[in-house]
Amino acid sequence: MNNDEIKDGISNLISQEVHSKDKILKPDFNQKTGRELLAFYLQTKFKQILAFDKKASIPVFINIKPDFIARFSKRLINTPNKRFLVGITGESASGKSTICREIQNVIERLDLPVSIITTDNYFNDISELISKYGGFDNLRDNGYDIDSPQNFQLELLRQDLEKVASGEDIYTPEYLPNGTGVSVPLSKFIPSKKIVVVEGMATMYEGIQDLFDIKIYIETDIDVRRKRFLTRACDERNQNMENALKHWEYILSAGQKYIIPSRKDMDIILNGDSSLEYFSQILEYIHTITNNFEQ
């Protein structure tokens, strides 16, 4: 199916759910039997949308781990009060931040109980090193591996995610994207909402990955990523093309070392080349099926 047919198809699915005369009674989520009913219902609906997505010319879903739906249902049934942590990773310029912005748009439109955390804010403060070497590019050219796990505040990240998962609001650091390497502690307020989406390369580093209820990997064509990266570097961050190309080669190497190995552990692999509008419709459909009960 082409894009217009896919969009019309999702719109029809949403309309069918809203106007269906066969809605189930809203389960009592305080009772295990109610949560079991919800889990079975969601499994059925999720399989329906996966079957629909397979017909798309550019599907959103590349792969789903065979045991994911069963594991997620068990988590929903047995620990309903804990926040759901969703980790999103992928190589640089794969579309992680773009997808999270689209999630943010859907959140605002549908008033969903979702918080978003960016792990890039947990980079170490390297302002002194940048000053010493006369700029970030010089620091990189002298062998500084910024994407290495040791250059993130991973212990703090884990502590913050454990707090927010248990229902505690937090303040995260903020790493300034202006080339200064400054990290401002306790800068961004993050409320502990029912669903917490955490995006960035550090989500799947050792010591962090095990915290997530859903692990998502964004996979995007390398030529698309290269174009996105160079455009962003030159137009948005005022880098010259020579430095942008140098950094592109660095992130390809860093991706091979730190990001791609986590792909095998992911619950869901999404297609970063898919339409954002189509992705947004899928989120809206998921929202519809989880809130469309007979009262």
How many Å separate Cα 287 from the centre of its chain? 17
Dihedral sign of CA atoms 177, 279, 88, 255 in order: negative
Owning domain of residue 205: 62-273
All residues at 6 or more sequence positions from 120 whose CB lies less than 8 Å from its CB, including other chains = 175, 177, 200, 201, 202
Dihedral sign of CA atoms 192, 93, 214, 119 in order: negative
Residue with the larger pLDDT of the pair 56 and 128: 128
Q: Name the residue type at position 249.
A: E
| Residues 53, 108 within the same domain | no
> pLDDT by residue (tens digit) across 184-238?
999 999 999 999 999 999 999 999 999 999 999 999 999 999 999 999 888 877 7
| Residues 248, 295 within the same domain | no
Q: Round to whole Å and give the CA distance between 173 and 190.
A: 11
| Residues 102, 211 within the same domain | yes
Q: Round to whole Å and give the CA distance between 123 and 71.
A: 32
Residue with the two structure tokens 């303040």: 171
Q: Name the residue type at position 14.
A: I
**Residue 13 pLDDT exceeds 60:** yes
pLDDT of residue 1: 61
> pLDDT by residue (tens digit) across 67-102?
998 888 888 888 888 899 999 999 999 989 888 888
Secondary structure E strands in the chain: 61-64, 84-90, 114-118, 170-175, 183-190, 195-199, 214-219, 268-271
Residue with the larger pLDDT of the pair 186 and 112: 186
CB–CB of 215/209 below 8 Å? yes
| Residues 69, 42 within the same domain | no
Confidence band, pLDDT 50/70/90 cuts, at residue 11: confident
| Residues 55, 179 within the same domain | no
Q: Round to whole Å and give the CA distance between 175 and 185.
A: 9
How many other β-carbons are positioned within 10 Å of the β-carbon of residue 181? 20
Does the pTM of the predicted model rise above 0.95? no
> Which of 117, 266, 261, 275 shows the shortest CA–CA distance to 198?
117
| Residues 46, 190 within the same domain | no
CB–CB of 160/173 below 8 Å? no
| Residues 46, 75 within the same domain | no
**Residue 66 pLDDT exceeds 60:** yes
- 273: tokens are 């080349």
Q: Residue 128's domain is classified under what CATH number?
A: 3.40.50.300
∠ Cα 179 157 230 (to 5°): 35
Q: What are phi and psi of 267, to 5 degrees?
A: -75, -40
| Residues 137, 225 within the same domain | yes
Rg (Cα) of the chain, in Å, rounded? 21
If 0-12 CB within 10 Å is exposed, 13-18 middle and 19+ buried, where does residue 235 land? Answer: exposed
| Residues 16, 56 within the same domain | yes
Across residues 173-187, what is the average pLDDT?
93
| Residues 259, 153 within the same domain | yes
**Share above pLDDT 70 across residues of the chain, in percent, rounded to a whole number:** 93
| Residues 209, 67 within the same domain | yes
How many domains does the structure of the chain reveal?
A: 2
| Residues 128, 14 within the same domain | no
